[in-house]
Amino acid sequence: MDKVMKEVINAYRAQKINVDSFLKTFIKSLPKNYIDQSLSILKQYRFIQLMYGVDSEFKQSTPVISKKESDLSQIGGNKSHYFLKLQLDEDDVYISNPYIHHKTGRASLSVVHFIDSTYYVFDVNLIHLLEDLKLIEYNSFHDKIKRTIYFFGSTMLAIVAIALIVYGGYVFFALIFSLSSSDFLHDIFKSIISMTLGLAIYDLAKQIFEHEVIYQSFHQTEDKQYKVLGKFLISIIIALSIETLMVVFKIALDDASKMLSAFYLLIGTTIMLIGLGYFYRTIQESTPKDDC
């Protein structure tokens, strides 16, 4: 099952009593000639995907009416397999468990109301229902724009990362095959730093793509962005540590009088590392832990 669908279903289960109560009140408030008023009902309430009627012998007695069409092909069809676990409440209403709708592929509910020997079935889009009840925040148009921007941004970051990794490989192989006459120590560290930064940027692009393009949560976890930032900072600190090591070696070999500058650089990198450790500790302490 898709992660988004799982989250929608979990959001419903967390508010099941309130949502079911709303659906019962809503169904009973509709005009009782459901099929005759179907077009106005579907137009007014976007969370209703389709509706139809089934007689007391579980034979479909009306067309399947949706916002786009009225399907007559299933009239007379046997629907008894859908009613095996049907248990009407005192108001002759039944609300199914969440499921993935076979036509729309979206998380859905079925609401059945028994009136005058007819079972009226309403298929409800769970995302739209929860959004209308302000239990989730979801806007398809805004979501598409946001995903497009994140897709473009993460793709460009990935291209930059690949370019850095390729450049680092080029410098390394140029050095190995004596295509470059530059200082060996300088070039080998340049290669390492380039590839390390490339991997850090690629990891950042991957995190953005996975969290904002492939899977966008309705309920943002408070520590998600910190985890992404933390992983990126770790890679940057590694790159800086390598750069610091390179500077220390070069000063030690060329001009030991500048060693104090290398020491300051080493202190700065160490402070960043300590800051990152404090950052992680603060995040862990502020994240609520589940009770065992």
pLDDT at 292: 38
Whole-number average pLDDT of the chain: 81
Over the stretch 68-81, which tens digit does the pLDDT of each residue have? 888 888 899 998 88
pLDDT at position 3 is 61
Maximum Cα interatomic distance, the chain, rounded to a whole number of Å: 98
Phi, psi of 95 (to 5 degrees): -120, 125
Query: Is this model's pTM higher than 0.75 or not?
Result: no
Residue partners of 151: CB distance under 8 A and separation at least 6: 209, 213
Residue 225 confidence (pLDDT)? 61
d(CA 124, CA 117): 22
Per-residue pLDDT, averaged over 195-201, amounts to: 83
The reported pLDDT for the residue numbered 290 is 44
How far is residue 159's CA from residue 206's CA, in Å, rounded to a whole number? 11
